[in-house]
Amino acid sequence: MEKNEMLENDSYEDMSTEDRILNAALETVEDYTISGTRMHLIAEKAQMVQSNVHYYYRTKEALLLALHKKVLDTCYSIRQEDVKKAGDCLEEQLDVFLKQKKKFLVEKTAYDTAEIDFWVQSRIKPKIRERMRHSFDAWRKEIRRLFEIYCPDMPEERKDRLPSMLVSLMEGATIQYHLDPEHFDVDGYFDMCREMILQAAGQPEEEA
């Protein structure tokens, strides 16, 4: 995939200054990782002087927190679009989460790899750690809500464990795909994820 596909519908000329900075930061993180990212590199990507970047984000940490929010907001907005199209059944509602993760993997790669980098940073950055902890907790609660709706008789313990299992399956795809995309069957993997969760929920996958 071409690196600039992550911004395929974006032109810096059409963006607000803050969006230019954040998109430039996303590209810079993809090229250099968070540890290697410098404000002057972001300014170069954004095609502006470094003082302009500092005007909006006084420190690298402040900019990275804003970038992390952009990644989380993008993840959420993709899910919300798919929720509107999904049918009223467990399988299609679970697909909302699987499709969002697949889109991050193959279409919005920079967002997906940034998420990995933020996880690494969360080990030493308390603010990032707390935000990631909160986002994962919200993710699990969203999935748990589906089991409450469509599997009301499921034991509470299972309602707690299955969301964690699904999140782990989706996040596990990230490392494998980015390490060796040619030998990782994205569609087959997520089809099996869906099948496993539905079987564990006592709702076999419907035949097409």
CATH of the domain at 73: 1.10.357.10
Residues 6+ apart with CB under 8 A from 45: 24, 25, 27, 28
Instruction: Kindly state whether residue 146 falls inside one of the protein's structural domains.
Output: yes
Instruction: Kindly state whether residue 126 falls inside one of the protein's structural domains.
Output: yes
For residue 60, the enclosing domain spans 3-200
Predicted TM-score (pTM) of the model is 0.84
Instruction: Kindly state whether residue 205 falls inside one of the protein's structural domains.
Output: no
Instruction: Kindly state whether residue 120 falls inside one of the protein's structural domains.
Output: yes
Which tens digits make up the pLDDT trace of 113-155?
999 999 999 999 999 999 999 999 999 999 999 999 999 999 9
Task: Please give the share of the chain, as a percent, with pLDDT higher than 70.
Answer: 91
Q: Is the pLDDT of residue 1 over 70?
A: no
Which tens digits make up the pLDDT trace of 60-112?
999 999 999 999 999 999 998 898 899 999 999 999 999 999 999 999 999 99
Phi, psi at residue 192, to the nearest 5°?
-70, -35
Instruction: Kindly state whether residue 207 falls inside one of the protein's structural domains.
Output: no
Tokens of 34: 């968070």
Per the structure, the count of domains in the chain is 1
**CA-closest candidate to residue 7, choices 117, 110, 118:** 110
